[in-house]
A and B are shown apart, each in its own frame.
Chain A
Amino acid sequence: MLNYAFKRILTIIPTLFAIVTLTFFLMRIAPGGPFDEERPLAPAVLENIQASYGLDKPLIEQYFIYIGNLLQGDMGPSFVYRDKRVHEVLAEGLPISITLGSTALLMALIIGVLLGSIAALNQNKKTDVFIVTFATFGITTPNYVIAPILTLIFALTFSILPATGWGSPSQMVLPVISLALPQIAIVTRLMRGSMLEALKSDHIRTARAYGLPMTHVVGKHAMRSALLPVLSYLGPAAAALMTGSIVIEQIFNLPGIGRYFVTSALNRDYTMVMGTVIIVATLVLVFNLIVDLLYTVLDPRVRYD
């Protein structure tokens, strides 16, 4: 397994390189540049600025300069935050995004697995119908609708939670819930499905026929195999949380990196776009690797050589 992990890590590097190259050139085909703003710049000034960022050099030369700097760990200066290098900007926002995302993911997992199991154990009863309806609702409602409604209720009407900002635990509550809700819903549905299947399988039936207590059967045996599909959903879930955080950060004014996803592309902040893409791609690649490795631990049938 160590061998497998090592091999996978090795493939991450060329993958990243391909992504970087693709993004670099795609970005440059887009019309407009980082200095096309509502207030246009005088042509002389524009020339000065472009020269100061090396944007007047041929594209291919810019590419090699960029790659060269990247290999030395420098992602270049941001075009929109001129006082900071891109990696500084991302380093400021990343911990916040990771805290937000991982809390939401954990919440989605715990609540989703719990609700899904409860629903499965009460198949076709009222509880089941209620949970399934809730889950479908969570999937069908975009979080840019849920988030303002939650703010309206808890921050503006009852004034028990802050509406914006980041720093205190109370400021995390609404963003995390809004971000996690669709994922809770999806995990719930997945878990319900796989738990139902697990409960029907032969070894569970046997265990129950032997008269083992239900809690033991579910907790120890059914749970283990039922968790596998949920586990393989973790990769897509992480990606979905990243997408969701774009919306959530905007609505709650959080200083994470999700916002750069959209703003850097819209502002043609070339270096920031590259930085964001690299960070996100690395996160996804590493996360998928971890999930695959976990899979081998949980499912004895899977072997990687």
Chain B
Amino acid sequence: MRLSYFITFLSVFSFWYATANANIFYRGNDGDPETLDHHGTSTTSEARLMDDLYSGLVDFSENAKVIPGTAERWDISKDGLIYTFYLRDDAFWSNGDPVTAHDFVFAYRRLMNPLTAAKYATLLYPIKNAEKVNIGELDLLELGIRALDDKTFIIELEQATPYFLEQLTHQTGKPLHQKSVEALGDQFVKPGNLVTNGAYVLQSYTLNSRIVMTKNDYFYDAENVAIEELHYIPFEDRSTCVRAWEAGEVHICSDLPAQDLERLKIYKDSLRIVPYLGTYYYALNTTDEFLSDPEIRRAMSMVIDREFLSEEIWPGMIPAQSLVPLGINNYPLGSPNTDYFNMSMLDREDEAIAIMARKGISKDRPVTVELMYNSGENHKNTATAIADMWSEIGIKITYKIRDAAAHYAYLRDLGEVQVARAGWIGDYSDPYNFLFLLESDNTGFNYARYNNPEYDALMDRASNELDLNKRAEILQKAEKIIMKATPFLPIFYYSSFTLVSPEIENWKSNVMNKNPTRFLSFRTSG
């Protein structure tokens, strides 16, 4: 009897239920942006917002291919150094102003201005003098860009860069509305102030709750934009997003917890697991006394049963056999083969045991190695399973588990780290974006402190090579060297995990994990 009162009480409550409006697209996101100033952004969740708010010179298609954006066409000089972009006449800002080449000049100079402190300025370092401008050695005006007239924008590069158009799809390459930024200062990002040129315009932003955008009627392709109102909802906890999705409160979950994948298979096509342009690896400190031996590093890689890890420990991830992930552009031959991946697990194990035995190490005479990872369920499960595999060849693991900030601080300064977890998601689709991690002068990312002049020389040669096929050959050689030396021990290629409501049409899952809202629509059949 009391229960029935309770239920009546609850159903009265449900009248107040915030009814989900049928015409609003609720898009779950991994978190709130650090800023809506795209020069300050760096994460994939921020990139999603920027792709909806702004249109760059080039944009992503529904399949994440490079398509003309605000520039309707472009010329590239024979030596690959001069890019001339012709802006479309019907490109307008959300306040009706035309988008001009000067807006791009303004934005790119601001990006490279040391005072802006843009996190991803490095991405456009291929532009002539960019690096020197960014560290304050050269004046802003020396940056290799200019506006020939209102609609013609010219970029001059330091050296030929075959993947430059790919790089321009990144949010750092997007324009800014010069007038409002100059007039409003750091207030220009506030709702009501923010002027954008993409498919959507910002309406409101409530921290940790939602970012509301509506269709930008001035957008040049507005007639093909189906969704009128868009709410980005940040989820700190992925399980929470799954619950919200199942309760019909969001249409999209941008990432999923591994433990739910098996159960979520009941939603069939709504569950999207596709390869993602990234590699999950362990960095082995090559300056460490024990790990400086490339044979030992090789043995450690050899003995890891990646198929088991991706079947049982972290379902959905793809076993990695190289540092450069699958499906990358400008790499027609793909990554080189590494001999032991063709061997049976048994042979690999025997060989690894033999290698270790030559060093006087065995299961009964183990060496203790410290493995550092940042806290997280999947990292923990993977580390536990790998430690079990390493115990077979006489490596006894002790763990050092830190929160992300401390983890990466230790990695950067590389205190006494021996083995550390890391991962890399490509900023643009080119093997260089992965292989440069191990260049000896890359102090920020080269967690293995790998130093091989031969490798560096190859990487330099690749940067100067214009012919894409020859370049790919050189890069493949370089990757072969590091796969043999194993300073990084690739474990998985990342997958992207998405839940897409059946109400949403035209969601094309792709390796870049990019799905601009302008291409999506509600299923009309009901």
Q: Do chains A and B touch in the complex (CB under 8 A)?
A: yes
Once the chains bind, are A33 and B409 in contact (CB under 8 Å)? yes
Complex: A48 Cα to B116 Cα, angstroms: 8
A248 to B463, CA, bound (A): 51
Q: Does B525 sit within 8 A of A, measured CB to CB?
A: no
Residues of A within 8 A of B349 (CB): none
- Decide if A83 touches B36 in the complex (CB within 8 Å): yes
Q: Which residues of B contact A268 (CB under 8 A)?
A: 405
CA A89 to CA B410, docked complex, whole Å: 30
Is the pair B405, A82 in contact by a Cβ cutoff of 8 Å?
A: no
In the bound complex, residues from chain A placing their C-beta under 8 Å from that of B1 are none
Question: Contact: A39 with B190, CB < 8 Å?
Answer: no
Q: Within 8 Å CB of A46, what residues of B?
A: 444
- In the complex with contacts A43-B443, A83-B35, A163-B249, A37-B404 CB distance below 8 A: yes
Q: B207 near A: Cβ within 8 Å?
A: yes
Q: Which residues from chain A contact B121 at a C-beta distance below 8 Å? A: 42, 45, 48
Query: Which residues on B sit within 8 Å (CB–CB) of A30?
Result: 406
Instruction: Return the CB mask of B1-42 against A: 1 if under 8 Å, else 0.
Output: 000000100110110111000000000000010111100101
User: How many whole Å from B426's CB to the nearest CB in chain A?
Assistant: 11
Decide if B240 touches A251 in the complex (CB within 8 Å): yes
Q: Are B410 and A31 in contact (CB under 8 A)?
A: yes
Q: What number of B residues sit within 8 Å (CB to CB) of A?
A: 64
Distance in angstroms from B129 CB to nearest chain A CB is 14
How many Cβ-Cβ contacts under 8 Å join chain A to chain B?
178
Whether, in the assembled complex, A151 has its beta carbon less than 8 Å from a beta carbon of chain B, the answer is yes
Bound CA span A256–B206, Å:
11
Size category of the A interface is 35 or more
Q: Which residues of A contact B42 (CB under 8 A)?
A: 37, 39, 41
Point out the residues of chain B lying under 8 angstroms from A42, CB to CB: 121-122, 444
Determine the distance from Cα of A266 to Cα of B376 in the docked complex, in whole angstroms.
13
Is the CB of B337 closer than 8 A to any CB of chain A? no
* One of B237, B249, B408, B443 near A251 (C-beta < 8 A): B237
User: CA–CA, A268 to B404, complex, Å?
Assistant: 10
Question: Please, which residue of chain B has its CB at the minimum distance from the CB of A254?
Answer: B208
Q: Which of A81, A160, A164, A173 contacts B207 (CB 8 A)?
A: A81
A166 touches B (CB below 8 Å): yes
CA distance A45 to B32 in the complex (A): 22
Let me know if B37 and A83 touch, CB within 8 A: yes
Q: Are A93 and B405 in contact (CB under 8 A)?
A: no
Are B236 and A259 closer than 8 Å at their CB atoms? yes
In angstroms, how far is the closest chain A Cβ from the Cβ of B216?
A: 20
Residue of A nearest to B114 (CB): A48
User: A164 contacts which chain B residues (CB < 8 A)?
Assistant: 240, 243-244, 247, 249
A160 & B14 in contact (Cβ 8 Å cutoff): yes
Instruction: Indicate if A49 sits at the interface (CB-CB under 8 A).
Output: yes
- The verdict on B489 contacting chain A, using a C-beta distance below 8 Å, is no
Question: Do B249 and A162 touch (CB < 8 A)?
Answer: yes
Contacts of A259 in B (CB 8 A): 208, 236
- A124 interface hit (Cβ, 8 Å): no
Nearest CB of chain B from residue A51's CB, rounded to whole Å: 7
Task: Return the chain A residue nearest B11 by Cβ.
Answer: A160
Q: Does B246 contact A (CB under 8 A)?
A: yes
As a 0/1 sequence over residues 141 to 154 of chain A, the CB contacts with chain B under 8 angstroms (1 = contact) are 00000001001001
CA–CA, A41 to B121, complex, Å? 10
Which single residue of chain A is at the shortest CB-CB distance from B445? Answer: A40
B19 (CB) vs chain A CBs: closest residue: A168
Residues in A neighbouring B468, C-beta threshold 8 A: none
Closest to B13 in A: A170
List chain A positions with a Cβ less than 8 A from chain B: 30-34, 36-49, 51-52, 80-84, 89, 92-93, 148, 151, 154-156, 159-171, 173, 250-256, 259, 263, 266-268
Q: Can you list 18 A-B pairs, Cβ within 8 angstroms, ordered by A?
A: A32-B405, A40-B408, A40-B411, A44-B134, A81-B34, A84-B207, A148-B239, A148-B243, A151-B243, A161-B14, A165-B233, A170-B16, A173-B13, A251-B237, A251-B240, A253-B240, A255-B209, A266-B405
